[in-house]
Amino acid sequence: MLTTKHTLVAMVTDKPGVLNRAASLFRRRGFNIDSITVGHSELPHISRMTIVVIGNSAMVEQVRKQLEKLVDVIKVADVTGAKTIIRELALIKVNAPSTTRSEIMQIVDIFRAKIVDVSSDSLIIEATGDEDKLSSFYNMLRGFGIKELARTGCVAMIRGGAKSAAIDKESLKDIQ
């Protein structure tokens, strides 16, 4: 079966250990995780996880079901097929002596990235985009000498009015 990247969005209760439970599950069942992020959602006491997993559709379906079995996980949706905005943020510290600085700044412009820190011989660049864009940006900068790279992992949202992983608000009324 075809192995591809899938993006899962999980709504989880904001309890200690919930990330550990998810990560432990992936490790123990041998699921190949490309990135995992977690942060606040629009709902109080509910966090949103975005998981990028590499595998065939049967395996990804197992990941989704096993995740949903966790008591702290309220809802998991595979948003891969949907029209989705996927974004990731990267901070890149690149060598930038005066000889190459302007060339770097042009590339930054083309990729609509931002320079957020300047020193005599380096720049920190903030870039957002999907994974492909960030990878090509990184490749463009590589020749200048990259000192540090930090990427956040992906977050995803379905376009239009539909919820990415709709959950029944009624079921949340007692959560605090």
> Using CB under 8 A as the criterion, which residues of the chain lie in contact with another protein when the complex forms?
12-13, 17, 20-21, 24-25, 28, 58, 61-62, 65-66, 68-75, 167-168, 171-175
CB of 170 to another protein, least distance (A): 9
Give whichever of 20 and 139 is closer to another protein, judged by the CB atom: 20
* Cα separation, 136 vs 78, whole angstroms: 26
Which of 23, 75, 26, 18 minimizes the C-alpha distance to 55?
Answer: 26
Task: Decide whether 25 or 140 has the Cβ nearer to another protein.
Answer: 25
- Residue 7 — φ and ψ, nearest 5°? -115, 120
Residue 77 forms beta bridges with which residues? 9
Min separation Cβ 75 and another protein, Å: 8
Q: Shortest Cβ distance from residue 5 to another protein (Å)?
A: 21
Positions of E strands within the chain: 4-13, 33-40, 46-55, 73-78, 84-95, 114-118, 122-129, 146-151, 155-158
Q: Which is nearer to another protein, 46 or 96 (CB)?
A: 46
User: Toward another protein, which CB reaches closer, 28 or 83?
Assistant: 28
